[in-house]
Amino acid sequence: MAYAFEVTIKSLPFLLEGALRTLQITSLAVLLGLIIGTLVGMAKLSKYKILSYPAVVYVEFLRGTPLLVQIFIIYFGLPAIGINIPRYPSGIIALGINSGAYIAEIVRAGIQSIPKGQTEAAKSLGMTYWQTMRHIILPQAFRNILPALGNEFIALTKDSSLVSVIAIRELLRSGQIVISRTYQSFAVYIAVALIYFILTFTLSRIVRWTEKKVAIP
């Protein structure tokens, strides 16, 4: 037991490096997901079927299939049709595309939570649809959906462990490397779990603090 504890302590810098990579991957994936989700969420509400139908298919397919399968499709499947993406971008793209489907539903609900009267008032002032969305609807919607977006960020931090299957050295993969060298699986996995907990707990507190800051007095 003492040896396992010693191994874990010595491995902490290596594991923390993996934790930093986890945060990098998650942050980039959430940014990508936010861009995709905002566009798809708006498309789902469009009166034009050429926009709304593909958006619905995208959301339903991504939410209805395992993230692990999506990672495999991007990293192992795309090369079969001549598209080769390195493992690091593949992991970010897979996580971002998956997150985008969930954020799309969050954004859609946020937009629908804004009273329609505000849209009608903007039209009466001569504002275009995109001007109304950019200056009136989306700022209010994002304030309303901030808790849900924070939860998505936290969930994606944990889901990012799945990119370890394509040998991206994030936190879980770092733990697996340590185990392959020391054979102390129990102690190392406990350390990995604790680091994940610290990350998600800290993120939840940051999200809660941000909510209070942007809340309407």
Q: Among all chains, which residue has been given the structure tokens 């879980």? A: 172
Distances (CA, A) of 177 to 17, 131, 170: 13, 51, 11
**126 in the Ramachandran plot: left (φ > 0), alpha (ψ -120 to 50) or beta?**
left
Separation of alpha carbons 40 and 46, rounded Å: 10
Max distance between CA atoms of the chain, in angstroms, equals 73
Which helix or strand (DSSP H or E) is residue 66 part of? none
Pair of tokens at residue 166? 């394509």
Separation of alpha carbons 135 and 187, rounded Å: 52
* Whole-structure pTM value: 0.90
Which helix or strand (DSSP H or E) is residue 59 part of? helix 49-64
pLDDT in 10s for each residue of the chain, 217 residues: 666 677 788 889 999 999 999 999 999 999 999 999 999 999 998 888 999 999 999 999 999 999 999 999 999 999 999 999 999 999 999 999 999 999 999 999 988 888 888 877 877 777 777 778 877 888 888 888 888 899 999 999 999 999 999 989 999 999 999 999 888 889 899 999 999 999 999 999 998 888 777 665 5
Domains and CATH numbers, the chain: 18-172 (1.10.3720.10)
Contact predicate 175/164, CB 8 Å? no
Q: What are the DSSP E strand ranges found in 17-137?
A: none
Is the alpha carbon torsion for 154, 159, 160, 164 positive or negative?
Answer: positive
